Amino acid sequence: MPTKKKPAASSRPGRRPELLAVAAEVFAAQGYDATTVRGIADEAGMLAGSLYHHFDSKESMVDEILSTFLDGLRNAYDTVLGSGLAPRETLEALVTESFRQIGRNPAAAAIYRTEAAHLATRPGFGYLAEAQPFFEDAWHRTLERGVADRTLSAGPDLRLTARFIGDAVWGAASWYRPGGGHDPADLARAALALLLDGLAPRG
């Protein structure tokens, strides 16, 4: 899943993380199309012209926010998939890492969830179109392993089940925030209890 970060105009590294964090919050709250450079600058307490000393456009800002977020998420998934865990433990680790990445940057996660399909049609954002298949394939391959060793039963359509799991996890990007009493591992266990064990009473 290649990513591409556009060069910024006259970047000043010291303020970039701060400004990107502000931009991410604005994009997440207002949506990409409704967000303006002036609006981001206002939230950052600076003139729009000053913001252009750091970034050449709002497009370059959202590109850096999303590509950085997805790089971190993919690296986390690759680590889990290469760890040799059993299928169910792999699922739990993938869900945990997803919640952990959402918790680290909830604004970026929310932008990815709501804007990826729209932005993926634009030049330079092809990596967004490639991201969803990559993550779905991670779920799918793990489910296949579980079916093969009889530790999981993923229903009649593994691909559909993989999409359901991914959608359930990414739906949390709209509400999960760190510090709310549940850490990523807690949420992963709760999600998997529902996804894999269901709501029917036991015994």
In angstroms, what CA-CA distances link 23 with 26, 58, 74, 134?
5, 8, 22, 26
Domains of the chain: 62-197 (1.10.357.10)
**Alpha helices for 13-157 (secondary structure H):** 16-30, 37-44, 48-51, 58-81, 87-104, 106-119, 126-148
Q: Are 142 and 93 in contact (CB under 8 A)?
A: no
As a whole number of Å, the CA-based R_g of the chain is: 19
**DSSP letters along 175-189, please?**
T--TTSS--HHHHHH
Q: Which of 26, 38, 27 is nearest to 115 (CA)?
A: 27
- Locate 157 and state its tokens: 């359509």
CB half-sphere exposure, 184, CA atoms < 13 A: 17
Q: Are 35 and 26 in contact (CB under 8 A)?
A: yes
State the pLDDT at residue 28: 95
Tens-digit pLDDT profile for the chain (203 aa)?
444 444 443 444 578 999 999 999 999 999 999 999 999 999 999 999 999 999 999 999 999 999 999 999 999 999 999 999 999 899 989 988 998 898 888 899 999 999 999 999 999 999 999 998 899 899 999 999 999 998 887 677 888 888 888 888 888 777 877 776 778 888 888 887 887 777 666 65
In angstroms, what CA-CA distances link 55 with 40, 93, 113, 128, 194?
11, 36, 23, 21, 43
State the pLDDT at residue 3: 47
State the pLDDT at residue 7: 41
